[in-house]
Structure 1
Amino acid sequence: MEMSAEKLVQLIAQRVYDRKGFNIMAIDVREVSSITDFLLIAEGNIERHVVAISEDIQDCMREIGEKPFRVEGRENGDWLVLDYLNIMIHLFIPEMREKYQLEKLWSNGKIVDLHIETDKSKSNAI
């Protein structure tokens, strides 16, 4: 059974959080872009962290039968893009995210309400 793009965005955001990624946001750009439906933007502390987050996302997506159309930036790790066609994931080190400010570029998109289960919410559920 195929998962909707909306559910995939939520799944990916959770995986990024679980790998200690931060400043996670998703933007619905279906009304303003023909390139993709959703952008997910997040940060890792250093290049190696960004690469590790991207590898975890790819493992997760592979488990549900999704392969990236393209992966860019793995050599440097300061800005890595995973293109799943309907979802484009941008992982940055903080300096690169600040430099390119993709959120401003796509400010006419709609911010997606992410339902990330934090460590705090997990402990409250016990």
Structure 2
Amino acid sequence: MQTEALSSLVIDALEELKGRDITELNVAELTSVTDVMVVASGTSSRHISALADNVVERVKAEGIRPLGIEGKQGSEWVLVDLGDVVVHVMMPETRQLYDLERLWSDLPGDRQEGARGGER
């Protein structure tokens, strides 16, 4: 499945269970780890777990096996690694604390500057 289709499937799975503030970050030019990060908020640790479970169920139904899942039971943050797409589901307070959207938007886009990003 292509990255765009996988990302759409993930977003649909999150929307289906009322994930909040869903954001798709294209990080392909910033890291070799993944192409897209999808960040969403849940209303409770139970909701976060349900959102992550729904993502996993939906991608497995399409024949895709997650590479890893971190932070399940009672967690304020669950990460689902699908290779080209990494999903972060968090409590709003945790999301605000780590501010992944700002973190990834502040990185320099040219990886040729060196491992630490270089100075501009």
* Range class of TM-score, shorter chain: 0.7 to 0.9
- The residue identity in structure 2 corresponding to 1:104 is R
2:95 equivalent to 1:83: no
2:95 aligns to what? 97
Out of 14, 17, 26, the residue aligned to residue 16 of structure 1 is: 14
2:43 aligns to what? 45
Q: Over residues 18-38 of structure 1, what are the superposed CA-to-partner deviations in whole Å (9 max), with x where a residue is unaligned?
A: 101010011111111011010
Aligned-CA RMSD value: 1.2
Out of 61, 84, 97, the residue aligned to residue 59 of structure 2 is: 61
SS of equivalent to 1:26 = strand
- Give the Cα separation in 2 of the matches to 1:6 and 1:77: 28
Structure 1, unmatched stretches of 5+, are 110-126
- Give the Cα separation in 2 of the matches to 1:50 and 1:72: 12
- Give the Cα separation in 2 of the matches to 1:108 and 1:31: 13
- The residue identity in structure 2 corresponding to 1:21 is G
TM-score (normalised: structure 2) = 0.85
TM-score (normalised: structure 1) = 0.81
Q: Over residues 9-60 of structure 1, what are the superposed CA-to-partner deviations in whole Å (9 max), with x where a residue is unaligned?
A: 1111111011010100111111110110100000110000000011111110
SS of equivalent to 1:9 = helix
Q: Over residues 43-83 of structure 1, what are the superposed CA-to-partner deviations in whole Å (9 max), with x where a residue is unaligned?
A: 11000000001111111011011111111011332000000
Preserved contact between residue 46 and residue 74 of structure 2 (Cα < 8 Å): no
Moved over 6 A (4+): none
Out of 68, 71, 76, the residue aligned to residue 69 of structure 2 is: 71
- The residue identity in structure 1 corresponding to 2:13 is R
- Give the Cα separation in 2 of the matches to 1:55 and 1:11: 13
SS of equivalent to 2:105 = coil
How many residue pairs end up in the alignment?
107
- Give the Cα separation in 2 of the matches to 1:63 and 1:11: 11
Structure 2, unmatched stretches of 5+, are 108-120
